[in-house]
């Protein structure tokens, strides 16, 4: 399996490129939390230890014992979302039940109430049994089902686009874009062959990157195919061209960045150096992209704009 070896870039001064709705306010002694507001660590720290409420949907991959759930603002989702090629949760909250009161599963919209618990530092996030990392969680929580008549017309539109599964398509799109912008940070783990010989791991060469992008059936070939981005846009616009114009603009910006990053690879705009790699205990060539910092910065801004757009849909 190819992995990316990097730390998550935190964009501290993100200008939201996509518009949306959503709010966070007080309701008695309980704070109404939104997925969009929850993306701000400093804001969450002010609410640490307080009662909060938030509405969303339970992912079907939530633990069967009901000890906690993955809460998302998108219906019909199986797995929690992560920042591309990391274990950092994105637009997904972990909600823990009260002791001896496990959650029962429902596919209906729910309203969760519990106590917000925030990590002491962004550099030391919480980690669950699956290895997911997150800066906050809701504990001692309960939930109630939101009745259909309580959902707005806007949420009905949101559920309609959710049924197309296009949000999952866009997450795959960002996996592809992330690889194009930072393929030199991806690596193959050390392994043992059929004869018991140790095969040291290595960071990808430029030839590896091109093979994984351009070879039919390879890991990232899906994004290289003709019409890939047009297909995503068509799926979005088939639901509502006007309502989701911001999402289309984000996909088109990702398409332009993908073309730029691929040109950097094809034109050989990189250097390489023989280094000792302590991670693998061997010497090997390590590649550096001439425009690597610029490409990853642009990619992160686009991704966080999409993430904030996704988080802005609230019930």
CA 99 – CA 226 distance, rounded (Å): 52
Is residue 291 predicted with pLDDT exceeding 50? yes
What number is the average pLDDT over the span 230-239?
A: 96
The top-scoring range by mean pLDDT among 2-16, 49-63, 167-181, 297-311 is 167-181
User: 3-class SS at 276?
Assistant: strand
CA 92 – CA 138 distance, rounded (Å): 12
Confidence at residue 143, expressed as pLDDT on a 0 to 100 scale = 94
Nearest to 223 by CA among 171, 264, 187, 286: 171
From residue 251, alpha-carbon distances to 74, 171, 212, 229, 254 in Å are 19, 11, 22, 7, 5
Is residue 214 predicted with pLDDT exceeding 80? yes
Nearest to 234 by CA among 254, 248, 222, 220: 248
Per-residue confidence band for 302, with pLDDT thresholds at 50, 70 and 90: very high
Confidence at residue 133, expressed as pLDDT on a 0 to 100 scale = 87
CA 191 – CA 189 distance, rounded (Å): 6
Of the two residues 82 and 250, the one the predictor is more confident about is 250
Is residue 28 predicted with pLDDT exceeding 50? yes
What number is the average pLDDT over the span 160-186?
A: 92
The CA-based angle 186-189-191, given to 5 degrees, is: 155
Confidence at residue 201, expressed as pLDDT on a 0 to 100 scale = 95
Whether 287 and 203 have beta carbons less than 8 Å apart is answered as yes
Is residue 7 predicted with pLDDT exceeding 50? no
pLDDT tens digit sequence for 247-275: 999 999 999 999 999 999 999 999 999 99
In this structure, of 80-84, 127-131, 155-159, the range with the lowest mean pLDDT score is: 80-84
Per-residue confidence band for 4, with pLDDT thresholds at 50, 70 and 90: very low
Whether 302 and 253 have beta carbons less than 8 Å apart is answered as yes
From residue 172, alpha-carbon distances to 42, 176, 220, 249, 303 in Å are 29, 6, 9, 17, 12
Is residue 45 predicted with pLDDT exceeding 50? yes
The CA-based angle 162-167-169, given to 5 degrees, is: 125
What percent of the chain has a predicted confidence (pLDDT) above 70? 84
Mean pLDDT, the chain, rounded, equals 85
Is residue 19 predicted with pLDDT exceeding 70? no
Confidence at residue 86, expressed as pLDDT on a 0 to 100 scale = 65
DSSP bridge partners of 276: 283
Nearest to 132 by CA among 76, 68, 75, 176: 68
Whether 61 and 70 have beta carbons less than 8 Å apart is answered as yes
CA 294 – CA 85 distance, rounded (Å): 18
Whether 206 and 262 have beta carbons less than 8 Å apart is answered as no
What does the DSSP 8-state code read for residue 39?
G
CA 271 – CA 274 distance, rounded (Å): 11
> What pTM does this model have?
0.73
* H runs (alpha helix) in the chain: 41-45, 153-163, 166-182, 206-214, 228-240, 245-266, 292-311
Nearest to 183 by CA among 204, 211, 214, 207: 204
10 Å CB burial of residue 151 (0-12, 13-18, 19+) is: middle
């Amino acid at each position: 399996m190819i992995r990316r070896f990097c730390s998550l870039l935190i964009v501290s001064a993100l200008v939201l490129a996509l518009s949306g709705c959503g709010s966070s306010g007080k309701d008695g002694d309980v704070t109404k939390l939104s997925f969009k507001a929850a993306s701000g660590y400093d804001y969450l720290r002010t609410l640490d230890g307080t009662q909060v409420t938030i509405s969303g949907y339970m992912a079907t991959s939530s633990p069967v014992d009901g000890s906690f759930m993955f809460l998302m603002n998108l219906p019909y989702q199986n797995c929690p979302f992560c920042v591309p090629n990391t274990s950092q949760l994105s637009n997904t909250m972990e909600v823990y039940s009260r002791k001896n009161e496990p959650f029962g599963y429902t596919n209906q919209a729910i309203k969760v109430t519990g106590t917000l618990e925030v990590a002491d530092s962004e550099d030391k996030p919480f980690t669950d049994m699956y290895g997911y990392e997150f800066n906050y969680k809701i504990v001692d929580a309960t939930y109630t089902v939101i009745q259909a008549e309580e959902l707005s017309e806007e949420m009905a539109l949101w559920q309609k686009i959710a049924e197309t599964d296009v949000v999952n398509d866009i997450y795959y799109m960002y996996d592809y874009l992330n690889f194009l912008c930072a393929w030199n940070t991806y690596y193959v783990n050390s392994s043992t062959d059929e004869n018991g010989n140790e095969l040291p791991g290595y960071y990808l060469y430029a030839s590896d990157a091109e093979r994984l992008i351009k070879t039919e059936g390879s890991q990232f070939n899906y994004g290289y195919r003709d019409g890939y981005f047009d297909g995503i846009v068509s799926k979005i616009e088939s639901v509502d061209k006007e309502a989701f114009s911001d999402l289309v603009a984000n996909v088109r910006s990702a398409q332009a960045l993908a073309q730029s990053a691929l040109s950097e690879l094809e034109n050989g705009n990189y250097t390489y150096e023989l280094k000792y790699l302590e991670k693998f205990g061997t010497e090997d060539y390590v590649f550096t992209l001439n425009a690597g910092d610029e490409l990853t910065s642009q990619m992160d801004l686009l991704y966080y704009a999409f993430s904030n757009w996704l988080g802005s849909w609230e019930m």
